[in-house]
Amino acid sequence: MNRARTIVRSGLSFVALVAVGGSLACKGTETAKSATTPNAMIVGPENIAIVKAEQIRSGPAISGTLQPEQNATVRAEVGGTVLQATVEQGTRVKKGQLLARIDDAALRESELSARAAVTTAQSSVELNKRQMERNEALLKAGAIAERDVEITRNQYSAAEAQLANAKAQLANAQKQLSKATVEAPFSGIVSARTVSAGDVVQPGAALYTIVNPTTMRLEASVPADQLSAVRFGIPVDFTLSGYPNRHFTGRITNINPVADPATRQVRIIVSLPNENGVLVGGLFADGHVASDVRTAPVLPIAAVDERGLRPFVMRIKNGVVQRSDVELGIRDAATETVEIRSGVQAGDTILLGAARGISEKTPIKVSAVAADTGRKP
């Protein structure tokens, strides 16, 4: 009886040992399995880009300095002492508004003298005309000779010539007198003032600079071999110093018909509306002619690896990294994006920056939802 109990206990102990051994074996297998399966890598939303179908533009790059399309340096046309300078720098003026007045005493004297000369010449013409008419009447009556009539006719013609000359001198004197009053040639803003009351100026001296800021212009050059991409009215996208986070669009209004013989480049002029007066002259502009515009899948250029024979991207597919060869299209230098013609499609999640170096087939997770799409990879 005791022996039977001993055998039973021994059997139970053996079963327990087998069970414990099996349990340890299972745990060992799970440990080994977890040791051989790598954990998913975590990347932030700043390391991914979503392929999106949007408009992309490409064309010749241009750069230059922005200037008001209409500007003028107002100069003195007569010499003298400046009696009055009415506007300050930065003042908005209208066409014909008084800017300055130059001493015109001598000019007024010349104008009065010329006016008196006209009056005298006019009296001489009338006198000679009456004498000529009287002699012609006497000639018809046979009282005087033809020669006497010819003399009065010549005197009348000379008087008329003197009158015409006097009137021309009067018109010139009046014109010179009007130049003593300096007026704005067009509506705009005074950008510079170089004269003050009391200054003595000579003809040609700069007094004011006036600009019309409602339309700005950019003069730039395009290589001759890219001239086929430039046409009148084509949009030009660019950024400006002082406005780093804003993009502006103008249009080509002029193309020089002759290329520079030294640089083989063609000058173009781009006009940019500035109705709200945000832009100012002198800003440096950098952009490109939008000669090729289309809507297509687009990625940041930084997402594409172009070091090999074929460009490729690293995308997240079913939670793992996959390499995908892509075919590239046009590039937009302003936004640093590139068209993707094949290899990926809109909505695909692509790795950016340092995350591009993650090996293929690596499990991966994004730590947060990409804010611009609202979808998880």
Tens digit of each residue's pLDDT, the chain (377 residues) = 444 444 334 433 333 333 334 443 444 444 433 434 457 788 888 888 889 888 787 778 888 888 898 899 999 999 999 999 999 999 999 999 999 999 999 999 999 999 999 999 999 999 999 999 999 999 898 888 889 889 999 999 999 999 999 999 999 999 999 999 999 999 999 999 999 999 999 999 999 999 998 888 988 888 888 888 888 888 888 888 888 778 888 899 999 988 888 888 889 999 988 877 788 888 888 888 887 777 888 888 888 988 888 999 999 888 898 899 999 888 876 678 888 888 888 888 888 878 888 888 889 888 865 444 444 44
Please check whether residues 218 and 277 belong to one and the same domain.
Answer: yes
Q: 39 exposed, middle or buried (CB, 10 Å; 0-12, 13-18, 19+)?
A: exposed
Going 239 to 240 to 245 to 247, the CA torsion angle's sign is: negative
32 lies in some domain = no
User: How many C-alpha atoms does 350 have within 13 Å on its Cβ side?
Assistant: 27
Write b or e for each residue in 133-148: b if 16 or more Cβ atoms lie within 10 A of its Cβ, otherwise e. eebeeebeeeebeeee
Q: Are strands 364-366 and 41-43 parallel, antiparallel or unpaired?
A: parallel
Adjacency order of strands within the sheet including 349-351: 48-50, 349-351, 312-317, 320-325
356 lies in some domain = yes
Q: Residue 146's domain is classified under what CATH number? A: 1.10.287
In this structure, what is the dihedral angle of CA atoms 362, 363, 368, 369, given to the nearest 10 degrees? 100
Rounded distance between C-alpha atoms, residue 253 and residue 311, angstroms: 38
- Which residues form the domain of 220? 61-68+214-292
Please check whether residues 269 and 314 belong to one and the same domain.
Answer: no
pTM over 0.85: no
Going 25 to 28 to 34 to 37, the CA torsion angle's sign is: negative
190 lies in some domain = no
AA identity, residue 259: A
Please check whether residues 276 and 302 belong to one and the same domain.
Answer: no
DSSP state of 305: B
Look at residues 226, 258, 292 and tell me which one is the last residue of a structural domain: 292
Cα first-last separation, the chain = 70
Q: Residue 357's domain is classified under what CATH number? A: 2.40.420.20
Please check whether residues 280 and 308 belong to one and the same domain.
Answer: no
24 lies in some domain = no
Q: Residue 246's domain is classified under what CATH number? A: 2.40.30.170
pLDDT of residue 167: 95
Phi then psi dihedrals of residue 109, to 5 deg: -65, -40
93 lies in some domain = no
Q: How many CB atoms lie within 10 A of CB 129?
A: 15
Nearest C-alpha neighbor of 346 from the set 295, 290, 294: 295
Please check whether residues 258 and 283 belong to one and the same domain.
Answer: yes
| C-alpha radius of gyration, the chain, whole number | 45
Report the domain count for the chain.
Answer: 3
DSSP assignments along 133-145, one per residue = HHHHHHHHHTSS-
Please check whether residues 280 and 309 belong to one and the same domain.
Answer: no
Look at residues 160, 177, 194 and tell me which one is the last residue of a structural domain: 177
208 close to 250: Cβ distance less than 8 angstroms: no
236 lies in some domain = yes
Please check whether residues 112 and 149 belong to one and the same domain.
Answer: yes
Write b or e for each residue in 270-285: b if 16 or more Cβ atoms lie within 10 A of its Cβ, otherwise e. bbbebeeeebbbebeb
82 lies in some domain = no
DSSP assignments along 148-177, one per residue = HHHHHHHHHHHHHHHHHHHHHHHHHHHHHH
Rounded distance between C-alpha atoms, residue 39 and residue 29, angstroms: 17
Look at residues 269, 292, 315 and tell me which one is the last residue of a structural domain: 292
Please check whether residues 352 and 320 belong to one and the same domain.
Answer: yes
pLDDT of residue 199: 94
Phi then psi dihedrals of residue 14, to 5 deg: -65, -45
331 dihedral zone (left: phi>0; alpha: psi -120 to 50; beta):
beta
197 close to 82: Cβ distance less than 8 angstroms: yes
261 close to 275: Cβ distance less than 8 angstroms: no
Please check whether residues 218 and 288 belong to one and the same domain.
Answer: yes
Please check whether residues 298 and 284 belong to one and the same domain.
Answer: no
87 lies in some domain = no
Rounded distance between C-alpha atoms, residue 250 and residue 220, angstroms: 13
Please check whether residues 219 and 287 belong to one and the same domain.
Answer: yes
Rounded distance between C-alpha atoms, residue 57 and residue 289, angstroms: 8
22 by DSSP, 3-state: which? helix
pLDDT of residue 244: 75
Please check whether residues 301 and 345 belong to one and the same domain.
Answer: yes
pLDDT of residue 93: 94
